[in-house]
A and B are shown apart, each in its own frame.
Chain A
Amino acid sequence: MKSLILVTISKTLLPLLILFSVFVLLRGHYLPGGGFIGGLIAAIAFVLHAFANGLRQTRKLLRIHPGFLIPIGLSIAVLSALAPILITGDPLMTGLWYGKDIAILGKIGSALFFDTGVYLVVVGVCLTIIFTISESV
């Protein structure tokens, strides 16, 4: 059931939605948003693409199996939690902050990396589950 409208629009929507998800991830510390929601939005973007163009096209676009995002995300989260122990000798998960503000991103701290880890895990988990199920039924 390929619909021309959906195919056309999904191609435009995919980058927009992913951009939006990153935006949501980055603003999370100050305004509504965060890694979990961002990850869900990114997952929706890919699922929409898969709906319109078929799973094969989406897999091609992704190149790697979405499952690989899970260990990457988990390691980023764990490393950001361990960072204070390794760098300053503070207890696990103490927030570390880079002194100056950076253009666009604002303050950079270990929390942002942790949230990025969450983001990647959520994308990986959602896509793995949905892709696996849609291939198997």
Chain B
Amino acid sequence: MTVFLFVILASFLFSLLLFGIGQKTFKRMTWFASLLPISLFVYFSSFAKPIMNGEVFNFFTAWVPSLHINLDFRLDNLALLFTLLITGIGSIVFLYSIQYMKGHPKLMRFYVFLSIFMGAMLGLVTSNNIITLFIFWELTSISSFYLISFNNTESSSRKSAIIALSITGLGGMALLAFGVLAGQLTGTYSIAEMLQSPEIFANHEFTVYLLIFIFLAAFTKSAQFPFHFWLPGAMKAPTPVSTYLHSATMVKAGIYLLLRFTPHFQNNSYFFTTLLIVGAITMLYAAFQTLFKTDLKGILAYSTIGALGIMVFLIGIGTSVSITAAIVFIVVHALYKASLFLVTGTIDHQAGTRDITKLGGLRKVLLPLSIAGLIAALSSGGFPPTIGFIGKDLIYESTLHGGLNPTLLTTIAVLTNILMVFAGLIVGVKPFSGKQPEELGQIKKPHFLLWFMPMILAVLSLVFGLFPAMVESLFTHNITPLLTGEESPHLAIWHGFNLIILLSALTIGAGIAIYFLWKPSHKKESSMIIFNAWSPKSLTLVFAAYFQKVSYFLTRTFQNGYLRRYIMIILVLLTLVFGIHVFINPRIFLSLKEIKSLNWNEIVVLAMMFVSILFTVFTKSRLSAIAGMGVLGYTMCLIFVFYGAPDLAMTQFSIDTLTVILFVLVLYRLPKYLKLSNHTNRIRDGIIATSFGTFLALTIIEIMNENPVKTTTEFYAENAYKLAKGKNVVNVILVDFRGFDTMIEIVVLSISAIGVFALLKLYLKKHEK
């Protein structure tokens, strides 16, 4: 267990280590960082054999058992698929970035965030506890935020990062709600154990909330319509980040969540129907958008959304064939899309532009890269003999044999796939074909890593296509039964001549035709702008703008920076609450019998109090007002002493002394005489103060009439000596029973001291302004 926990935490520890190494040393040994994903890949590969034989590994350590939060990891075949993707593509991206990010001033920070992301993602896919899954889920959103805004000097990067964080963060909250609700209903927070209460997920009064929350979480993370718009914005990140987070792994976390909970929702038709509809809308919408983009990464972003839509759509069909198709498609997509992204990155790095209308003829200089691009484009389009072909076959097989309306589903799938063929060709082939435009100028040959890394992925698409048995035995053979309880269909490149082959040929033919007939241009891109006003993105932004306005208004009204305004608002609000309470439900009785006669010393103290109050209110000197306040404080201490609260009296006494000293220190330098605030203000303040005091007194009288519940008091009084060996109950409460509160209080005190020090001492010197 400890080894596995260490492996999950290794990436976080590693990022700390990078900080220790320091920016300067790190620059000379960037390769060092790639040891992390490579060794993790090797580690997880070692599980492949036993897991292929059907073993499942559990690693359990209690963390906060009282809250059901445990370090509970479970490595089954589905988790293995994702860990291999994360570490495998991670290795490629880490190596690729050595060259791509070379010389960047914040290189170390880049690798730090990338490592944190990888650790979070590994934790996410291996967590068996829904709460830790949520924690890792949020960590991926946070690391993604830092990576999107990596070029933080650009306002557009920062804005995209904030949009991405808000959308995925919203989904994270939904995931927490889902986890807590499912945990409470089933009585366990272990995802595997939840399977034992299928009725909760199928037919229960709260099932609808479970569905809403899991959909919100998965659709925001995996960029489904109408939450998809954060993903194109996330393309502001450096290309290796887009490759890794926003195409190959992080955006698949939502898919992972849906797959993980497919067995739980097995008997819930709403689950599958919603996925089918949302997936279908997303894939068609996004695939259609690729026609109008001119930025290579923009095209890739929308085709990624489309691919995620296809996965959701396939899960939604819900048959064993379609789940198998979804799993194969995860592999297919990760390989070809990561490859295409890296190809784009190299083009951008060498040619300095990603604008498709300006690119062409690059095959002469970037021949190896163009081969990688071609293979990836073929896999993306589903040409034989790539793995993409098998993936697309399975998609058609699922639409033809599943769902309510096979014709409609197949039509949607074919249309989407035709556009995906186009998108793949335009990114992987177009920049290399034709003539090189003169504006591009002299293009240098890229470093070995910059073409070799996409090449590895592209070749893998080909290898898996030629030997589909590898994918079958490694993944689908076990995962499909795991999720559906049924056998997985046999993967093969040739199933004989049938309708599916015909559809495949039609897809490829139509895709190629569009590629040759349709030329992306800026004119076409800007023609789509008229629809922008009603896109989910602008609606969200309008909402956000109003939200911000309201927040500004509230902040300016209630927190205008004047202490007197804060105090006034607090007092008025409390007076209203007390006042309404006393007015609606008056329960104030003063029985004269119970009032004891006053001692002479009490009378003296009360008289002193009265005098000091009048003195404080009516004096014209600041310092004497403070002295008056001090006397008032001390008389209150005396009252505490009379009524048996020595601790309170001592504290009040010391605090009063210090307050007076502080006031004197600050006010001593101010002019001697008060410049009185105007008459109306004083009357208003007087009314507020008097009514607050009155209502407070009334409330206290009311409280005295209640029969107090004394169980807590009695518990403390009885157990102070028994459990904590102290006779002073107040002190025992402070240092033992409620010691944790005290701990937090002293932390708050420390923070306030630091705050005062920072405000007054650490201001900018003149030359620093």
Contacts and interface: CB of A to CB of B under 8 A. Distances in A.
Interface of A: 24, 28-37, 40-41, 43-44, 47, 51, 67, 70-71, 73-74, 77-78, 81, 92-93, 95, 97, 107, 109, 111, 114-115, 117-118, 121-122, 124-126, 128-130, 132-137
Contacts of B654: 37, 40-41, 43-44
B163 to A, nearest CB: 39
Nearest to A39: B654
A67 to B, nearest CB: 7
Interface string B614-658: 000000000000000000000000000000001100110011011
B726 A35 contact: no
By DSSP majority rule, is chain B's interface helix, strand, loop, or mixed? Answer: helix
Contacts of A28: 728, 731, 735
Contacts of B757: 67, 128-129, 132
A29 B731 contact: yes
Interface in B165-193: none
B740 interface: yes
B682 interface: no
A51 to B, nearest CB: 8
Nearest to B647: A32
B736 A44 contact: no
A29 B661 contact: no
A133 B753 contact: no
By DSSP majority rule, is chain A's interface helix, strand, loop, or mixed? Answer: helix
Contacts of B736: 93, 95, 111
Contacts, number: 138
B665 A133 contact: yes
Interface stretch (B42-50, B531-539, B743-751): B743-751
Given A40-B654, A47-B658, A121 B731 contact: no
Nearest to A117: B746
B651 A30 contact: no
Contacts of B674: none
Contacts of B754: 67, 70
Contact of A44 (B647, B657, B730): B657
5 contacts: A32-B730, A77-B743, A93-B740, A129-B662, A130-B661
Contacts of B668: 137
Contact of A124 (B657, B658, B753): B753
B669 interface: yes
A36 B733 CA distance: 13
Contacts of A107: 725
Given A30-B727, A93-B740, A107-B725, A43 B747 contact: no
B728 A32 contact: yes
A37 B730 CA distance: 12
B734 A74 contact: no
Contacts of A30: 726-728
A28 B650 CA distance: 12
A7 B7 CA distance: 65
Given A29-B732, A32-B650, 16 more contacts: A29-B735, A31-B727, A33-B728, A34-B731, A35-B735, A37-B654, A41-B654, A47-B661, A81-B740, A92-B740, A111-B735, A118-B742, A129-B757, A132-B761, A133-B756, A136-B760
Contacts of B732: 29, 111
Interface in B278-298: none
B666 interface: yes
Contacts of B749: 121-122, 125
Contacts of B726: 29-30, 111
Given A44-B658, A129-B753, A121 B746 contact: yes
Given A32-B646, A34-B735, A132-B757, A122 B669 contact: no
Given A34-B734, A37-B650, A81 B743 contact: yes
B509 interface: no
B504 to A, nearest CB: 62
Contacts of B731: 28-29, 33-34, 115
Given A28-B728, A109-B725, A118-B742, A37 B665 contact: no
Contacts of B646: 32
B574 interface: no
A103 to B, nearest CB: 17
B756 A40 contact: no
Of A77, A122, A129, A130, most B-chain CB atoms within 10 Å: A129
Contacts of A37: 647, 650-651, 654
A4 to B, nearest CB: 20
Pairs A-B, 8 closest by C-beta atoms: A40-B654, A32-B646, A125-B753, A29-B726, A136-B760, A30-B727, A128-B753, A121-B746
Contacts of A95: 723-725, 736
A50 B199 CA distance: 73
B725 A133 contact: no
Interface in B656-700: 657-658, 661-662, 665-666, 668-669
A24 B750 CA distance: 22
B651 A36 contact: yes
Contacts of B661: 47, 51, 130
Given A67-B753, A132-B761, A133-B760, A114 B735 contact: yes
Contact of A118 (B651, B669, B724, B735): B735
B752 interface: yes
Contact of A74 (B658, B665, B666, B747): B747
A81 B573 CA distance: 39
A34 B753 contact: no
A73 B753 CA distance: 14
A119 to B, nearest CB: 10
A78 B743 CA distance: 8
A78 B747 CA distance: 10
B437 interface: no
Given A47-B658, A81-B739, A118-B746, A33 B650 contact: yes
Contacts of A115: 731, 735
A129 B655 CA distance: 13
Nearest to B721: A30
Contacts of B756: 128-129, 132-133
A75 B65 CA distance: 27
A131 to B, nearest CB: 9
Nearest to B723: A95
A1 B113 CA distance: 58
Contacts of B662: 129-130, 133
Of A28, A29, A114, most B-chain CB atoms within 10 Å: A29
A24 B23 CA distance: 51
B638 to A, nearest CB: 15
Contacts of B761: 132, 136
A95 B760 CA distance: 40
A32 B752 CA distance: 27
B647 A77 contact: no
A71 B746 CA distance: 11
A34 B723 CA distance: 18
